[in-house]
Amino acid sequence: MTKSHVHVLRSCTNKLTSKGGFQWPESGMVGCKDWNSNPVCGGGLHGWLRGVGNLSASPYTDPANHKWLVVRVLESDIVWVTENGGGKVKFPQGKVVFVGNLKEAVEKLATLEDIVNLPVIGKIHHTGKHGKSISGDYGHSTSGDTGKSTSGDYGKSTSGYCGKSTSGDYGQSTSGYRGHSTSGDYGQSTSGDYGQSISGYRGQSISGDRGQVKAGMEGLLILRAQSLGGKQLLLSGQIGKDALKPNVFYTSSKDFKSFKEV
């Protein structure tokens, strides 16, 4: 009976070392000496099954300056780590089949696994009209008109007319006319005319004419429009100042000189 294998994405230092100085090979078999099957950190090799998981589970997450590996593992050896919110797997041994930067590792993973509809860390995904695209942390997701784009932390999501874009903390989310954009803390959300933009703590929410904006504490609200004479109008304010409240939707007054609650 043929044993089934899966592929795990993981990251290391530039010298291919991980926690405790463990040395990973550039290719070939690798195993640990302290394996245990308990669903906790330690006692195994760790990574993200099919590239999906919590980026904060690793301290080596620079897309370009850390090494990213694809490891072939027996599916029966995979144990899901559940402590501290989980977001990764562990295994006793595997075969390193690729080492490179994040973009290259994800491209390699895509040749080995069906990751089209998975929120893979670092994945770049583009779809057309009515499309739905999903990428994980550090990923880039783009869809066309009435599409839906979602990316994780540090990700970038873009959708067109009437689209819906969502990205995580530090992410950038953009949608077109009547679009809906959401980003997390420190993120930037931009939507077109009649659109709706939402961001978290210290985020930046930008919307066009007759749009709505909402941000968390210390966030920045920006509304843009064009007057009948063609003059560009800009209204901005900061949460906690200018009498603007956190997590409340605002639009502009009729004269475009002040914010008003929706």
* Residue 162 and residue 149 in contact, taking contact as beta carbons nearer than 8 Å: no
Whole-number pLDDT of residue 146: 82
Q: Mean per-residue pLDDT for 221-248? A: 86
Closest CA to 74 of 20, 111, 103, 31: 31
* Residue of higher predicted confidence among 55 and 76: 76
| Residue 100 pLDDT exceeds 60 | yes
Q: Mean per-residue pLDDT for 2-16? A: 92
Q: How confident is the model at residue 2 (pLDDT cuts 50, 70, 90)?
A: low
| Residue 126 pLDDT exceeds 80 | no
Tokens linked to 113: 């696994």
Lowest mean per-residue pLDDT among 27-36, 93-102, 151-160, 204-213: 151-160
Burial class (CB within 10 angstroms; exposed 0-12, middle 13-18, buried 19+) of 262? exposed
Closest CA to 91 of 99, 79, 81, 101: 79
Please provide the DSSP assignment of 207-249 as one string: E-TT-EEE--TT-EEEEEEE-TTS-EEEEEEEBTSTTBPTT--
Mean pLDDT across the chain, nearest whole number? 89
- Residues 145-200 have pLDDT tens digits of 888 888 878 888 888 888 899 988 888 899 988 889 999 988 889 998 889 999 99
Lowest mean per-residue pLDDT among 30-34, 48-52, 120-124: 120-124
Q: Where are the domains of the chain?
A: 5-112, 124-261
Burial class (CB within 10 angstroms; exposed 0-12, middle 13-18, buried 19+) of 206? buried
Tokens linked to 133: 């695209």
| Residue 49 pLDDT exceeds 70 | yes
